[in-house]
Structures are given as structure tokens and as C-alpha cells.
Homo-oligomer: A and B are copies of this chain.
Amino acid sequence: MKDRLLTPGPAEVPPETLLELAKPVFHHRTKEFRAILMAVTQDLKDVFQTKNDVLIFASSGTGAMEASVVNLLAPGDKALCVRGGKFGERWSELCERFGARTINLDVEWGQAVRPEAIEAALRKDPDIAAVYVTLCETSTGVAADVEAIGKVVATSGACLVVDGISGVGAMPMKTDEWGVDMLVVGSQKALLLPPGLAFLSVSPKAWARIEKAPRRAYYFDLRAARKALAKEDTPYTPANTLIAALKKSLDLLKKEGLEAVWARHTRVAQATRAAVEAMGLKVYAARPASALTAVLLPDGVDAEAARSLLKKKYGVAVAGGQDQLKGKILRIGHLGYADTLDLLGAIVALEMVLAEMGVPVPLGAGVAAAQKALLAR
């Protein structure tokens, strides 16, 4: 039986990229690697839709989140954190840890933040230095309306910082057009690479704040990273083989075209949601992201048991719920290399698993609804 990785990250990586990772290791302080580093940086700018600086770190996405806090904020600066899931909570924890006066804008899990709520918070505290939001809240499957939030934040002096770790590549993110000052992205989601790299874009507005803030970071010091990049280098040993493999993945995305990549994710996400509803289940997110679908199972049905059966019987790996959602939801990833038939396979398997668990699911109904959604486009 094949393993089918449909978690919302790490996501499946194309064989072209995997083969790149099997190539001999090379030195990083060479003309050849400098060319790769600069090409990857440019490709990332294209994917992020930005002319801002883009810096690459050997770390998980959380490392770049930390970089966007510890460099941007001086101790005592006010930070507004939107908390509507695990990753919003991480923003709040990071801001607290690094001494910001943290204002939490709590949103019910499964709901998206209302841009008006951010507007009201900024009006109440006009000296808020930064607003931290999550493009795709991976714990709930909710998408934030970053475009609308960007309009609100642009009228204030605050910087807008977006966790796009699981969202970027799977759904539109127009960094410059939407006024996103810092964008955090991870390698192991829609960018088609294993975990190990994180990316951060930095706008001139963010740099202005960073330059006034005390220098508190070292490994994640953005000024050091920018200075090194100006010399086509990194301050510390880069994960050079991952960066070289990323070039291959970004070439694949470029070949397909960014708009087409987004449209593909939208299409599969819509089909997945149609299937879920036709099976009599609920899509958990009020404003669903295109990177994953969080499926709420009926009361009394153990989502962890379903997840375990999916893996055991059909090799389908999906994620479960975290914290208060543990045992209640399944999170099906449809980002990156996963294609339409991979997702339809997961639907087929989910129907069978639920039937086996005694949940009254009309066999084939989810698949038919997904097919219909796909054909209607």
C-alpha cells in the first residue's frame, strides 16, 4: 500500500525535487551557489508578489515568525495579535516572550477575524506598532481576508505582519498590493520542499522600524541577513542543498504560472468542501482556506479513530485536531503537489472509513459532489 501524504504540511514533494536532494553536497561560498541563492530569492519574490527584500533562514517557519517579532518590536512596543487558533496564539506567545505589550484580538476558533475589529483596535490604540495575523490558520482551516486587513492597517502607523506559512502558494497573497510589511513563509507547504527553510519578506516601512529597534537577535538578525545578501551570501551556513532543491520546485511553480497554481488549489479546495457537505459532514471554517479543509465530524464520532483507520487501511495521512479540536476534526491538506485524484482518493477512503465506523454516509455521495464541482468549473 502506498503512503499518501495529505496533511496540511509537510506536504508531498515532487520527484524532480527529491532527486535534487540526492545529489552530492557542494560548498556554499562559490559562484555557483551564489547564483542559485540569488535566483531563488528572485523566484520567492515573484511567488510572494513583492519587490521587498526576501531573506532565507535555515529553520522552521516559527524561526522566521520569531525574526518578525524580535527585530521589528522594541521592548514595550504595542503589538496586536489576532488569535483564532494555534498559530495566532503563537504570534501572541512570541510577542509576549520578546517583551511587547501584547493586545490579543480573540476570534472564535473556526471564524475569521473581521477587518473592522482590527480597525477598532487600531483606533483605540493608535500607537500599535505591528499587527500580527495568519493568512491560513492551519489549526482551523480559516483564511483571513488579508487584502481588507491591509487596507485597514495602511491607514495607521503599524506594520502588518502575516504568517503565510501554509497559505502562500496555495492561495493569493499579493504582498505589495495588499500592504503586507512582513510575510513569513515555510518550505514544507505549497512551496514543494521538505521542512527546513523559512522565508521572510521585509518592506521599507518595516526596515524603518527595525533600524530604530535595539538589536536583540543574532541567528535571526535581519540586518545581518540583509547585509550578507547584498554580497550574495548568508551570515551563517545556509542549508544550501535545500535551497538548490527549492530552485527546482520554484521552477515547477513558475512553469505552471502563479495564477494557475492558485486556481488549481481553489478548484481542489472547492471540490473537497462539496464532498464533505455531500457526506453530511461540516466544513469547520466559516471562511475556508484553499490549503486545507478542516472537517467537523458528527458528535460522538472519534476523529482520531477515523484518522488512524484512514492511514492503516488506505495509507492516507491527514491531520487531526489540535487542543480543543482534538478528536473532533480531521484536517485534509490539499496544498502543493497533491492533485485532484489524490484528493478524490482521500474522499473515497473517508467515506469507507466512516461507513465502517457506523456513521451513516451515503457511499459515493462525496465523490459525486466533488466530481460535479470539478466539472462545473
Contact = CB atoms under 8 A, between A and B. Distances in A.
Interface of A: 3, 5, 7, 9-13, 18-19, 21-30, 57-63, 66, 93-94, 97-98, 186, 188, 194-196, 215-220, 235-242, 317, 319
Listed residue (A11, A25, A216) with the most chain B CB atoms within 10 angstroms of its CB = A25
Contacts of A18: 21-25
Contacts of A62: 218-219, 235-237
A319 B26 CA distance: 12
Contacts of A241: 10, 21, 194-196
Given A63-B63, A98-B218, A186-B237, 8 more contacts: A10-B237, A28-B195, A59-B63, A60-B239, A62-B218, A97-B215, A188-B237, A195-B239
A216 B218 CA distance: 13
Nearest to A94: B218
Contacts of A186: 237
Stoichiometry (number of copies): 2
Listed residue (A61, A188, A241) with the most chain B CB atoms within 10 angstroms of its CB = A241
In the A-B complex, list the 5 residue pairs whose CB atoms are closest, starting with the nearest. A22-B22, A196-B239, A62-B236, A194-B241, A21-B21
Nearest to A70: B218
A3 B353 CA distance: 51
A239 B194 contact: yes
B93 A218 contact: yes
Nearest to A11: B25
Contacts of A194: 25, 239-242
7 contacts: A5-B24, A27-B317, A62-B218, A62-B219, A62-B237, A98-B218, A195-B237
A308 to B, nearest CB: 10
Given A5-B26, A188-B25, A60 B240 contact: no
Nearest to A64: B219
Contacts of A317: 26-27, 30
Contacts of A29: 319
Contacts of A94: 218
A188 B24 CA distance: 12
Nearest to A188: B237
A246 to B, nearest CB: 12
A219 B63 contact: yes
Nearest to A337: B25
Nearest to A57: B59
A338 to B, nearest CB: 11
Contact of A5 (B27, B60, B61, B216): B27
A151 to B, nearest CB: 30
Listed residue (A7, A196, A241) with the most chain B CB atoms within 10 angstroms of its CB = A196
